[in-house]
Structure 1
Amino acid sequence: MNLNLRAAILHNVSDNDQSQLEDTIVDAIQSGEEKMLPGLGVLFEVIWKNSSEDEKKEMLETLEKGVKG
């Protein structure tokens, strides 16, 4: 079986509005389930690919602060 996980995840959220996307992200984080990590990764990939260089820099600064906590 050849499953394209990235395509499946994008298909599952392609009709979602901002509120539904936020709910998906919050639910995935709050659940703490490892199986949700690939979906969050795909959503982050979409954000990254559609961000300006300044937005990417800001995300990296936020990420660095978060991981150094």
Structure 2
Amino acid sequence: MNLNLRQAVIQRVTDKDNEELFGVIEDSIGGQEQVLPGLGVLFEIIWQHSNPDTQAQLVSTLKQHLT
């Protein structure tokens, strides 16, 4: 994933309110594979700004749904 993709995703969601961000995520999940890198960028931002407890919960949720 190159920096241009990150910048494009960030620009797309900058200045959106919570409802709009929710919609972007909901519309992307289960959609075309082309949107998966964008979700990755959003997850990266969430991960980088989450505390260790939240990160552990995210990993736990992921693990529960992979088995």
Q: Which letter maps to 1:63?
A: L
Q: Measure, in 2, the Cα distance between the counterparts of 1:65 and 1:17.
A: 30
Is 1:65 aligned to 2:42, yes or no?
no
Percent identity between matched residues is 45
Instruction: Give the CA RMSD over aligned residues.
Output: 1.5
TM-score (norm. length: structure 1): 0.89
Is 1:46 aligned to 2:54, yes or no?
no
- Matching of residues 32-43 of structure 1 within 5 Å: 32-43=31-42
Q: Measure, in 1, the Cα distance between the counterparts of 2:8 and 2:26.
A: 19
TM-score (norm. length: structure 2): 0.91
Q: Measure, in 1, the Cα distance between the counterparts of 2:21 and 2:41.
A: 12
Q: Which letter maps to 1:45?
A: E
